Amino acid sequence: MDPVRVAVVGAGVMGLSTALCISKLVPGCSITVISDKFSPETTSDVAAGILIPHVYPDTPTHKQKQWFRETFDHLWAIANSADAREAAVHLVSGWQVYRSISTEVPFWADVVLGFRKMTEAELKKFPQHVFGHAFTTLKLEGSAYLPWLEKRVKESGAVTLTRRIEDLWELQPSFDIVVNCTGLGSRQLVGDLEIYPVKGQLLKVQAPWVKHFIRDGSGLTYIFPGVSNVILGGSRQSGDWNLTPDAEISRDILSRCCALEPSLHGAWDIKETVGLRPYRAGVRLQKELLARDGRRLPVVHHYGHGSGGFSMHWGTALEAARLLNECVQALRTPAPKPKI
The residue ranges that bind another protein (CB under 8 A) are 80-82, 84-85, 88, 90-93, 113-114, 116, 118-119, 121-122, 125, 134, 136, 207-212, 225, 227-228, 258, 262-263, 265-266
CB of 328 to another protein, least distance (A): 36
Question: What is the smallest separation between the CB atom of 157 and another protein, expressed in angstroms?
Answer: 27
Of 62, 64, 98, give the one whose Cα is nearest residue 306. 64
Residue 44, marked binder: yes
Identify the CA nearest to 102 among candidates 71, 133, 78, 76: 133
Min CB(121)–another protein separation in Å: 5
Task: Decide whether 225 or 278 has the Cβ nearer to another protein.
Answer: 225
> Looking at beta carbons only, is 206 or 237 nearer to another protein?
206
Q: Is 43 annotated as a binding residue?
A: yes
Which phi and psi (to 5°) does residue 141 adopt? Answer: -115, 120
Q: Which residues contact 117 (CB under 8 A, 6 or more apart)?
A: 131, 132, 133, 134
Residue partners of 19: CB distance under 8 A and separation at least 6: 8, 31, 33, 153, 158, 179
Neighbouring residues of 298: CB distance < 8 A, sequence distance ≥ 6: 176, 177, 178, 287, 288, 289, 290, 327, 330, 331
182 carries a ligand binding annotation: yes
Minimum distance of another protein from residue 283's CB (angstroms): 27
The annotation status of 136 as a binding-site residue, yes or no, is no
Q: Judged by CB, which is closer to another protein: 126, or 175?
A: 126
145 is annotated as contributing to ligand binding? no
Smaller CB distance to another protein: residue 42 or 137?
137
Cβ neighbourhood burial of 304 (10 Å; 0-12, 13-18, 19+): buried
Determine which helix (DSSP H) or strand (DSSP E) holds 290, and give its type and residue range.
strand 284-292
Of 118 and 300, CB closest to another protein: 118
The least CB distance from residue 79 to another protein, in Å, is 8
Pick out the residues of the known binding site for FAD.
43-44, 182
What residues form the annotated binding site for D-dopa? 222, 277
